């Protein structure tokens, strides 16, 4: 499994341009002008081709053999920058070379790469896929680095829990760390109690696989410390507040925060950014058994804050609380956490637009701008102080499930904030980690969200030296 995830993934690009057929990616203006060879323009016009975004046409040669293809980009390639993902599904096998607007080339190649993704571990596809010849105008190493991260996040989320429980997630974690010569430490089972991670232990103790806290350290100790924290709930039944079957069907994706954090870590280490990287993943399964935690239990966290359990299905914030408290203890320069945390975030912004929360205005702007530039869009939500009282109770410092049902994503972020040292620059992402419908660059299934934006921020802040 780990080999499938980290070693056997072949990206759909080639360095061999011999016999590569051209793909003319054209705007409406280019199609109407002199951009195309006359015979191609004549064929396209005869076939009724219009350069609307996503329109596709195969082009024969004079001998009747396939000689190329056309892709419409519409009025402006920026309106649908990853439309090229369609090519991975429509082109016949073989080598192809993209000819399109130079300013759009990087996103066209990235879109093709994301659209070429297939989750084929359980069902092998006999169909050969097309390859694109790398373009010299684009940093192909960085392009493939980003795609490797996207593929890893998607794979981890798509694999069901019988093959991606806490033990398997640890194996992937170790394999990634070994590849980049990072150090790993794991706190397992009852050792969580001995080392004061009571919430992680409590949430995961009912599973047949022991709960654990995974830690990875990479980079020079003299570089700025950056800590990534990812929610690794490998399956969430809801616990004793059990979910209905319809809500449980996608819960293999409840470790989507961990998947995206690992994918971001891959990109950071592969780019050799000038950071002292720490990755923390509480890996658990929220199961039901005789020792499962209960509604009304009161737990004491690593930080010493008391928490009343008002719903065992609000478990992600609990495991994150202990991990964030640990992360805060050595005061990193920047701390990022990612979690598939609340349905409220989806109600507010839908599945494709992850909200993020931070009090750091500079960081907030950097993240938003990077999302716009990378077409990896995110939206800032407020850590509204007026709702802080909602996350407390009369007898405890906190509740894990405020009553009333309002502002659920905000109150979850406010809960997490209580475990972060206020002097630390911190941002929380409440991601969905799933594509509910096919798009040109994104098939139904697990998805990488916000990590290309974050990679851009980190790459700009801490470039490799």
Q: Which of 340, 333, 290, 328 is nearest to 448 (CA)?
A: 340
Q: Which of 230, 201, 200, 214 is nearest to 167 (CA)?
A: 214
Alpha carbons 430 and 308: distance in angstroms, whole number? 22
Of 317, 346, 418, 456, which residue is the catalytic one?
317
Contact 234/216 with Cβ under 8 angstroms? no
Start-to-end CA distance of the chain, whole Å, equals 34
Alpha carbons 175 and 333: distance in angstroms, whole number? 27
Distance of CA 320 to the CA centre of its chain: 17
Of 52, 243, 380, 459, which residue is the catalytic one?
243
243 is catalytic: yes
CA-based torsion, 99, 102, 104, 110: positive or negative: positive
Alpha carbons 192 and 186: distance in angstroms, whole number? 10
Contact 399/321 with Cβ under 8 angstroms? no
437 is catalytic: no
Active site residues: 243, 317
């Amino acid at each position: 499994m780990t080999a499938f995830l980290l070693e056997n993934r072949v990206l759909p690009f080639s360095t061999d341009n011999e016999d590569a057929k051209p793909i003319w990616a054209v705007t409406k203006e280019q199609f109407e002008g002199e951009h195309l060879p006359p015979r191609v323009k004549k064929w396209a016009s005869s076939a009724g081709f219009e350069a609307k975004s996503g329109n596709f046409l195969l082009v024969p040669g004079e001998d009747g053999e396939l000689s190329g293809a056309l892709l419409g980009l519409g009025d402006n390639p920026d309106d649908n920058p990853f439309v090229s993902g369609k090519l991975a599904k429509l082109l016949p096998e073989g080598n192809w070379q993209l000819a399109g607007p130079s300013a759009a080339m990087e996103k066209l190649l990235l879109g093709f790469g994301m659209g070429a993704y297939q989750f084929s571990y359980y069902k092998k596809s006999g169909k050969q896929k097309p390859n694109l010849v790398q373009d010299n105008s684009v940093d192909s190493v960085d392009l493939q680095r980003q795609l490797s991260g996207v593929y890893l996040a998607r794979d981890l989320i798509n694999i069901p829990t019988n093959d991606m429980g806490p033990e398997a997630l640890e194996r992937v974690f170790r394999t990634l760390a070994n590849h980049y010569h990072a150090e790993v430490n794991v706190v397992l089972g009852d050792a969580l109690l001995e080392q004061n991670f009571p919430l992680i232990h409590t949430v995961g103790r009912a599973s047949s696989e022991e709960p654990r806290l995974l830690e990875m350290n990479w980079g020079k100790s003299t570089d700025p410390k950056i800590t990534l924290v990812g929610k690794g709930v490998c399956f969430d039944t809801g616990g004793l507040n059990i979910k209905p079957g319809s809500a449980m069907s996608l819960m293999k994706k409840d470790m989507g925060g961990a998947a995206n954090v690992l994918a971001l870590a891959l990109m950071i280490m592969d780019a050799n950014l000038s950071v002292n990287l720490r990755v923390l993943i509480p890996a658990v399964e929220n199961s039901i058994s005789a020792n499962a935690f209960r509604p009304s239990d009161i737990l004491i966290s690593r930080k010493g804050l008391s928490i009343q359990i008002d719903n065992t299905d609000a478990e992600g914030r609990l495991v994150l609380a202990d991990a964030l408290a640990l992360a805060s203890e050595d005061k990193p320069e920047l701390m990022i956490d990612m979690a598939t945390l609340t349905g409220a975030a989806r109600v507010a912004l839908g599945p494709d637009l992850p909200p993020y929360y931070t009090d750091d205005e500079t960081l907030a702007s950097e993240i938003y701008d990077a999302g716009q530039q990378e077409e990896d869009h995110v939206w800032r939500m407020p850590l509204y102080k007026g709702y802080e009282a909602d996350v407390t109770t009369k007898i405890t410092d906190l509740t894990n499930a405020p009553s009333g049902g309002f502002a659920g994503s905000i109150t979850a972020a406010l809960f997490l904030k209580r475990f972060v040292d206020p002097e630390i620059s911190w941002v929380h992402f409440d991601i969905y980690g799933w594509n509910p419908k096919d798009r040109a660059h994104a098939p139904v299934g697990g998805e990488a969200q916000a990590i290309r934006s974050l990679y851009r921020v980190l790459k700009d802040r801490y470039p490799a030296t």
